[in-house]
Structure 1
């Protein structure tokens, strides 16, 4: 049997552990070849490969961050080529067939799961593993990389907590979280944040200001605020809802305007800082952790999860259970 494997989407810790886990399990079987595609779906489309089992690439990567295969956010059905968006699904199918693959394993984030599903619809035998620093891939208890990202974020917030206390400031820490607040909530709770703002719950400026003012009255002049990059104030959400209902302008024009507002992450965090600083009279600083949480050595929990999911995904391949994602449900290995 010949199996292809790639890592796609945003980076997160623990991916090398998954590659290693799959490769080690595959090498214990007879007549199994493992072909790695470089840089995600781009490597599949362009047929850029490496032989993972004969080149000795799996040794020593369990504790390494990143991915030895490389990754990218490109997806076959909408690949960016200059200023154009091109559908390269057929090239991906051709590469799969040219390499005479029996299955393709994709370790990827939410957008990569969709890309893998589309390839499955195109006739490829696909198995996926969920990985995301934001923990935003549905149908699994936890994604590869989340535990490490939460630990890194917690340590960073701990440090900012001490400097906020020493300098009597409001410290706002912005974390990854496009549609999910798992990372911000988990790290915020673990680090003892005074205010936690997530995308799922629009926030009210007045409520936050009142909470910080109460702390100030009690003699606690500093405050620590953790905010997901796409957390939004209630007033902005209501404005966009009203604008969507108003007549005038095409739906496409409205969609582009809303997208521009939604994607202006830093402006919202800056607005939050300005409002809090002005209302409370406390010096307010912003720290954006961003991709910091995507790198570095994975935690023991992530290494174990990655290895378990990798071994389970190989079982799915050998059983012929294609078009599924290996996952952990209620603490046990499963697939959806």
Structure 2
């Protein structure tokens, strides 16, 4: 095990994002628009993927799967052909187009092979600037591109920190209580330097060395990905 099955807060944020997508369907349908919904997820697309599937988004874009803007537009045009003149695009804030992913990959390779610290710092600044610009403008730029490519009006909704607030779901309260009580037991036994992880219905200690610096990304063959594709959702790939 390198990480927890899930963490408290995820279920609550997932419910809020799903409800937002549900609410946006009415406007998208009545005004024949594309609505691009930005959901939290800088490095990992779990929230966008889960909320997109649960809320019935027509396109879901994730950081783990660089997307082709033309393919996204084609998926939306095909919906129009079949009489559906609106689309919901659920996009993780860190989702990248093929071009953007290639730019970042190129800089990361340059940084890896840089010969001196000065050059590495320069490339790191370029990477930071590129990613900051991407996070600040990406969803709006995507909306404009889709409007131009499809001829449909496109609007952006950025959920932002709304997803972090509000009362936690019952599932999150149960999970937090379960992990918290397990943590107290470990402290009582003077077992330190571990993270309390959810593993099925159990709570188990995992050494910090096994989890520090690691990210739980969406694997390309994850059942949620497979299910999304089977119901006709475009992932832009």
- Distance change >3 Å, CA 317–CA 229, structure 1 → 2: same
> What are the superposed Cα offsets for residues 169-211 of structure 1, whole Å, 9 maximum, x if unpaired?
0000001101111111111100000000111111111110110
Q: 2:167 aligns with which of 272, 276, 297?
A: 297
- Matched with 1:255 is 124
Two-structure CA RMSD over aligned residues (Å): 1.7
> What are the superposed Cα offsets for residues 189-243 of structure 1, whole Å, 9 maximum, x if unpaired?
0000000011111111111011001001111110000001111111111123335
* Structure 1 SS opposite 2:123: helix
Task: Name the CA distance, whole Å, in 2 between partners of 1:178 and 1:237.
Answer: 13
Which one scores higher on RCO, CA 8 angstroms, separation ≥ 6?
A: 2
> What are the superposed Cα offsets for residues 52-84 of structure 1, whole Å, 9 maximum, x if unpaired?
xxxxxxxxxxxxxxxxxxxxxxxxxxxxxxxxx
Task: Name the CA distance, whole Å, in 2 between partners of 1:243 and 1:304.
Answer: 43
Pairing 1:171–2:31 present = no
User: Tell me, which stretches of 5 or more residues in structure 1 are unaligned?
Assistant: 1-137
Task: Name the CA distance, whole Å, in 2 between partners of 1:149 and 1:242.
Answer: 33
Task: Name the CA distance, whole Å, in 1 between partners of 2:130 and 2:140.
Answer: 14
Residue correspondences, number: 199
Larger radius of gyration: 1
User: Tell me, which stretches of 5 or more residues in structure 2 are unaligned?
Assistant: 207-237
User: What stretches of structure 1 move > 3 A for 4+ residues in a row?
Assistant: 242-249
Task: Name the CA distance, whole Å, in 2 between partners of 1:266 and 1:214.
Answer: 30
8 Å contact kept, 1:141–1:331? no
Pairing 1:331–2:201 present = yes
Between Structure 1 and Structure 2, the one with more helix by share is 2
- Distance change >3 Å, CA 314–CA 250, structure 1 → 2: same
- Matched with 1:276 is 146
Deviation at 1:245, TM superposition (A): 5.2
Pairing 1:285–2:160 present = no
Aligned residue runs from structure 1 range 186-205, under 5 A: 186-205=50-69
Task: Name the CA distance, whole Å, in 1 between partners of 2:46 and 2:88.
Answer: 18
- Matched with 2:100 is 236
- Distance change >3 Å, CA 161–CA 320, structure 1 → 2: same
Task: Name the CA distance, whole Å, in 1 between partners of 2:37 and 2:85.
Answer: 17
Q: 1:314 aligns with which of 184, 194, 208?
A: 184
Task: Name the CA distance, whole Å, in 2 between partners of 1:204 and 1:324.
Answer: 41
- Distance change >3 Å, CA 240–CA 179, structure 1 → 2: closer
- Matched with 1:217 is 81
Between Structure 1 and Structure 2, the one with more strand by share is 1
